[in-house]
Structure 1
Amino acid sequence: MGAMATQRWTEADIVAQTGRTFVVTGANSGLGLHSTKALTGAGARVIMACRNTEKAEAAREELPADSRKLAEVHELDLGDLRSVDSFVSGIEDRGVDVLINNAGVMDIPLGRTAQGFEEQFGVNVLGHFALTSQLEHKITDRVVWLGSLMHQLGWINLDDLNYERRSYNSWLAYGQSKLACVMLAYEQQRRFVREGSTLRAVVAHPGYSATNLQSHSSNAVVRQIMKLGNSLPLLAQPPHRGALPELYAATVPDLPGGWYIGPDGPGEVQGFPRPVASNKRSYDVGVAEKLWDACAELVERR
């Protein structure tokens, strides 16, 4: 199925993935677990890159028998760049075809990663940036970054990416982190083109998907509202549908680099995957270049 033929694309449209290897971060639950199930169901080998290996092994055991044989758990804590180093060193040289930067945290109280980064920016952005940079020479096909509808709230504050001087707002911090993921995907694609690389960087967002991500909100009222939202089928779609945009972005053979994939329904809240547009700020090439350099400096400074 071609990249433009997006009408009601489902898991059944995933072309055979036999012989291909995927790394899926946060693969023990939610969108990552459903992506793992779909990819192994199509014949792919999936490296489940997870912070809690006990939970990941339990999730792997729940997969169908044939899928279970194709999935393997590796420890990866995106909140600790030393863990990223260890994970990459444990990936054998036979390579990775696709990296799906699926894991994330959302609307959490102010916290710091092992290297002192604001936790949402540190996990959602810098952990994945370091992982992508270190794995790039082993990747043969593409990198999929995860955006969010909440990138609309985001502004990139290059002078204070880690909330060291400004007052902390959990939603604005999340919005910044997701806008950063979108912009880094676009910037990575531009760099691939300049380098003459055949690799691709694409980005996807799930719309509103009922996962456990919402249960970690720092605000009790927000947690209750989201719990209610997750139970409303007219608002929230189940995880297997929420995973479709990242699966589309990861597997459609002729998908151009630099595309953004999201649900086709009103407001991109739910639906079937198709190319969509991110906000105007995400296309600022100058800010994206500076963001890339800032991320590289932060990761190297550790």
Structure 2
Amino acid sequence: MNPSSRYAALTGQTVLITGASSGIGRATAVAAADAGARVLLAVRDRNRGAAVAQTLRGGLSEHAVVEVDLADLDSICRGAASVTEPVDILVNNAGVSSPTLQHTADGFEMQFGTNHLGHFAWTALLLPRVRSRIVTVASQAERASRLDLDDVNWARRAYNPARAYADSKMANLLFTFELARRLATANSPVTAFAAHPGLVTTAIYDRDPGTRPGVWDRLVPVLGQSPQAGALPVMLAATGELPAGSFTGPRHLFHMRGGAQVIRASKRARAAGVAQRLWDLSEDMTSIEIVV
């Protein structure tokens, strides 16, 4: 099913998507272009981004590539500065999953640093140009999180890659809900949403030969759905008539596959005090302030 066929037309709108060269990001880019949008593909590899843009409805004459590495604050600043046109919908989709402790260019634990801090900084820098919506791709993996704001870089604890990934997805939700609250308080025309794509067969689950597979690595080949199906909740968050701060996800198999609807986040993900602490920590770690 084409995700664009179920949701509102985007004719005349610009949609900026991180991680748009593969997986859910690429499927969302296809859906947005088919719905009439101009798509800005924010990717690490400009050539891969251009190749994908060429396959979209309208081709490279209609769409554009923005080069950015969300694991590098300098790259984020350069990439954001290169976006000079208004953006109607910002989709924070890119994400990493690492089986070992790795660090970003700025010394942050890779999953928290890329999935949350990278998008926090990216959103902060682009917010003055966003006109309508910010959609951050999160995950129900947040329910396995035990986020420790005193040790987000895993300097004191034995590294648990699955828990670190869940922590980054918890951070995505805490950030989204806090951003939605602040935007509403400021009477901003911009709203914030989160989307859970479900269990999707994408490259994020690829592992080096010899690496011991985790539980999700074993389940994905059996239960995983296509990136096109995973894009359905993202498109619902991007175009649906929803309350600000909504969290969307699949309808079936415990919200792991099939269709799209508004779903519930955990109570921890909606803890306003924790969200405020995370916001302050994120501004401190990135040295970038979000001005709503």
**TM-score with structure 1 length normalisation?**
0.90
Could you tell me whether the CA contact under 8 Å between 1:264 and 1:274 is conserved in 2? yes
Aligned equivalent of 1:298: 285
Q: How many angstroms apart in 2 are the aligned matches of 1:196 and 1:87?
A: 28
Residue 128 (structure 1) aligns with: 119
> Structure 2 vs 1, CA of residues 40 and 290 (structure 1 numbering), >3 Å: closer, same or farther?
same
Q: Offset at 1:167?
A: 1.6
* Code of the aligned partner of 1:255: L
2:26 corresponding residue in structure 1: 33
Q: Are positions 1:189 and 2:176 aligned together?
A: no
Return closer, same or farther for 1:238/1:283 CA change in 2, 3 Å cut-off: same
Q: Which amino acid aligns with 2:246?
A: W
1:23 matched to which residue of 2?
Answer: 16
Which amino acid in the other structure matches residue 213 of structure 1?
I
In 2, Cα distance between equivalents of 1:146 and 1:217? 25
SS at match of 1:97: strand
Deviation at 1:175, TM superposition (A): 0.6
**Residue 198 (str. 1) matches residue 199 (str. 2):** no
| Residues 98 and 110, structure 2, Cα contact 8 Å, conserved in 1 | no
Q: Which residue of 2 aligns with 1:162?
A: 153
- Aligned residue among 282, 288, 299 for 2:269: 282
Which residue of structure 1 aligns with residue 4 of structure 2? 11
Instruction: Say which of 138, 147, 156 aligns to 1:147.
Output: 138
Pairing 1:76–2:63 present: no
- Asked if 1:221 corresponds to 2:208, the answer is no
SS in 1 for 2:254: helix
Cα RMSD for the two superposed structures: 2.0
**CA gap 1:218/1:291 in 2 versus in 1, 3 angstroms:** farther
Shift of 1:65: 5.0
Query: Secondary structure at 1:23's aligned position in 2?
Result: strand
User: Helix, strand or coil: the match of 1:221?
Assistant: coil
Q: Percent identity, aligned pairs only? A: 35
State yes or no: 1:240 paired with 2:228. yes
3-state SS of the aligned residue for 2:102?
coil
Q: CA deviation at 1:224?
A: 9.7
Contact 2:3 2:231 in 1 (8 A): no
Q: How many residue pairs were aligned?
A: 288
Give the structure 2 partner of residue 262 of structure 1: 249
Equivalent residue for 1:273?
260
Q: Deviations over 1:122-163 (max 9, x none)?
A: 100001000001111110001101111211111221111111
Instruction: Tell me if structure 2 keeps the 8 A contact 1:20–1:44.
Output: yes
The CA deviation string for residues 50-82 of structure 1, in whole angstroms up to 9 with x for no partner, is: 012222222233x14525433211101000011
**CA displacement at 1:223 relative to structure 2:** 6.7
Gaps of 5+ in 1: 1-7
Partner of 1:42: 35
Q: Secondary structure at the match of 2:206?
A: helix
Q: Is the Cα contact below 8 Å between 1:105 and 1:213 reproduced in 2?
A: yes
Code of the aligned partner of 1:292: W
Distance 1:255 1:263, change over 3 A: same
Letter in 2 for 1:74: V
TM-aligned CA distance change 1:183 to 1:164, over 3 Å: same
Could you tell me which runs of 5 or more consecutive residues in structure 2 were left unpaired when the two chains were aligned: none
Q: Residue by residue, what CA displacement relative to the aligned partner does 1:23-65 show, whole Å, maximum 9, x if unpaired?
A: 100000000001001101111011100012222222233x145
Q: Alignment partner for residue 212 of structure 1, among 176, 198, 203?
A: 203
Equivalent in the alignment of 1:5? none
TM-score (norm. length: structure 2): 0.93
* Cα offset, 1:217, TM superposition: 7.3
Deviation at 1:19, TM superposition (A): 1.2
Asked whether the equivalents of residues 263 and 272 of structure 1 are also in contact (C-alpha less than 8 Å), the reply is yes
**Preserved contact between residue 214 and residue 223 of structure 1 (Cα < 8 Å):** no
